[in-house]
Every structure is written in C-alpha cells, then in structure tokens.
A and B are shown apart, each in its own frame.
Chain A
Amino acid sequence: MHCVNCAMRLQQLEDDLPGVIAVDASYRRQKMSVQFDETRVSATEIIAAAQRLGYTIRPE
C-alpha cells in the first residue's frame, strides 16, 4: 500500500466480493483484516481479488 487511497481500494472488496462482511485495511500498519462468510467466499478468493487490484498478500 503506497498511500491511504490503497487502503480504501482494498476496502472496496466489501462490495466486490459477495460473502465479504467487512474489510479493515490500514496503510499505516500495512495490514488488512477481513471478516467473511466461509460458506460464500474462501480466503483464497479474497487473496486473489486483492492480487487482481495489484497488491501482494502475505497471510498471517
């Protein structure tokens, strides 16, 4: 994430991916935590969606 706008772009996954409940992305911490419904979307799909936006994801 280069700036605050990147965090806002990642938060948009809430709207783009059905099953994602809330995205908390922080430019300062360089971290994104996602609340999601496992029956509707998987972690792999979320990671892939973030990667499509141009970000490198390292799961904790």
Chain B
Amino acid sequence: MFAVFPLNVLAVETKGALMTSLWVALITGLTTGGLSCMAVQGGLLASSLASQIEKDLAAGSIGSNRKPSPHIALPIALFLTAKLVVYTLLGALLGGLGQMLQITPTAQAILQFVIAIFMLGNALRMLNVHPVFRYFSFEPPAKITRFIRRQSRNNSSAITSLFLGALTVLIPCGVTQTIMAAALASGNPLTGAALMFAFTLGTSPVFFVLSYFATRLGALAEKYFVRIVAAALILLSVLSFDTGLNLLGSRYSLTRLANNLRSGSQAELANQPTVTSINETLLVLNALDDGYKPKTLHAPANTQLILQVVTQDVHSCSRAFLIPGLDYGVILQATGTQEVEIPAQPPGTVLPFTCSMGMYTGEIIFDL
C-alpha cells in the first residue's frame, strides 16, 4: 500500500504547485535576481550597448544632459531576449538531468539545505562579513571572460547584443544558480524550462530599467540595492532551510512551530477520530488550496489507522501529499478521497505531513 514517489513526479503533476513555483521564480527574478544578476552580467550588457552608444555619439544624439537614448532600448531588448531563450534552454537541460537523477523528498530536502547555505553565503559575501564568503560566488575562468570580451568587439551591434545575451549563461549570478538548482530539483525538462523562463523574465525589467537609466544610478543607490538584495537573500535562505526541514518531516521547522502556535489557540473539534472497526480508526483530513485542515490530528496509539485525505476542486501544491516519516507520497485528485493506511504507532509519536514543496504542513499526534 505504501509507495515512494520521486518528488519530481509530484512536482510535475500538480499544476498548482508548478504555478506557485513559477510565481516565486518570477518574483525572485523581479526583486533579488535582477539586481544580483545585474551586478555580475551588467558588464556584458554594457559591452553590448557600447557600439550603439558610439553610433549615437557619432550622430550627436547623446548630449551633455546624459538622457538615455531611445536607440539604446533595442540592444537591451535583444540582449534580454537572447538571455531569456538561453536560460530557458538551460532550465530544460537541468530539468532533464534532474529527471535522470530521480530526486526523492530526502534528496530535495538536502538540495534545499544546500540552496539555503548558498544564498546565505552570498548574502554575507555581499555584506562583506568575511573574506571566506567570497567563495560563494562563481568566478568564471579568465579564458571565458576574455573570449566574451573579444567577441563583443568583433561583431555588429545587433549580433553582439544577441551573442552577449546568450553568453550570460556562462556567468550566472548567485540567485540564478539557486533557481538553476530548483530547475534541477524539479526533475522535469518542461518544469525546469518554465522555472528558468519565469525567473529570467522577472530579471528582465530590472535589467532594462537599470541599464536604460544607468547614467542616473549613483553609488549611494547601488549601496542600498546591495543591502536590499542581501537582506532578501537571507530571508529566502531561511525559507529554503525551513522547506528542507518540512520535507524531512521535522517537527521543528518554522512553519510547523507557527502552525502549532495557531492551532494551540483554536479548538479543533473536527480532528477527532471516528472509530470504524475494532482495529481501525478513520481520520479525515481536508486538503485545501491554502493548506491542510485540521493542521493537527489526534489519533489513538497502537492502532492501525486509515487516513482519508479529502479534496474538493483543489489545485494547489497541497495535492502533492507527503508523509516523510512513512516514505509515502501521492498525488491527490483535484476532487476525491485518498485513503492512506497508517500502521500502529507507539504513544506520543508525532507523524508530520507536508505538501511536496514543504509549504503546507500538519501532523498526526498519537496521543489518544
């Protein structure tokens, strides 16, 4: 009856989970990703703009007022389009690689921890906390940067913009690498491609605005941007670590502690078990779009249970239901009832459950 589903399968089959991930990727791109990538890849974009600026200077369209030229918009757009295409392809490649690796919930939890450490390290690097954190940045070999630089000089402006946009794939920023890890963890080429597309699309407005108005961005503003990016990375790393804990079924994740605080103040009458036979007890859990209800189920110890997970027109990641302690995972129907056999547990056992993304959690306490 118990089955272990690779998490990649769960992730692919829940449309709601995918949509949530895409929104997260898009917003990450729009906020921290855009700024962080601009710091690393801004030089390439500047190179792609160089020939257009030279042309504008020759034509006299850039004056002493330093207003951005409308002609600058085209190379920026070409650069960003090429970047979007190449990163989407990279996402597909990483997703395909993840599919071959068959990432289990435990493996994804470990990946979440790695991502969390990576993001935290990058944030501390940006805040100049200690030189050791510089090792969290990816430093492309001099041969690659030399190649990019020389290519940018030798091509016409439109081709240069497209080419350099494509070459950004060789120098991904820290946040991009995080999304690349998520694409790998998705274990599906389409999901991986969609994740990278959403993220890169999110970074595009930031790139566009910052490069278009680059002449007006002072050093003070840059300093604040770095701090904002660092703060956002710290927050994201905490969330990533928490997701990892949820996927491992830990009771001490922030999400679960918050749930416990909330449920402690509410009477949860709906979670009382219904006895259906001498040896079996039936528990009912509702999987909703915004999580599981009730979040805490109380059940009798030393008794085999049937857990009924009920869905009604649910499209969120709560459909990808996991009980890490039992190595159990299932994709729930959008509307339906899934029965899960739970073997007898000793008194005091706590069995956490979660969605595949570690966002929605709950637990069964064997204390009756």
Contacts and interface: CB of A to CB of B under 8 A. Distances in A.
A26 B138 CA distance: 11
Interface residues of A, number: 19
A20 interface: no
Interface string A7-19: 1110110110000
B171 A4 contact: yes
A21 to B, nearest CB: 12
A42 interface: no
Given A4-B137, A28-B135, A28-B137, A11 B142 contact: yes
B115 to A, nearest CB: 20
A8 B137 contact: no
B142 A30 contact: no
B47 to A, nearest CB: 9
Q: Is the interface of A mostly helix, strand, loop or mixed?
A: mixed
A55 interface: no
B54 interface: no
A25 B135 CA distance: 15
Contacts of A37: none
A8 B145 contact: yes
Contact of A5 (B42, B131, B149): B42
Contacts of A30: 131, 134
A26 B43 CA distance: 16
Interface string B109-147: 000000000000000000000010011011110100110
Contacts of B150: 15
Contact of A11 (B39, B40, B138, B149): B149
Given A9-B43, A11-B149, A24 B142 contact: yes
Nearest to B131: A30
Nearest to B141: A24
A15 B153 CA distance: 10
Contacts of A8: 43, 140, 145, 149
Given A8-B43, A28-B137, 5 more contacts: A8-B140, A8-B145, A14-B146, A22-B142, A28-B134
Interface of A: 2-5, 7-9, 11-12, 14-15, 22-28, 30
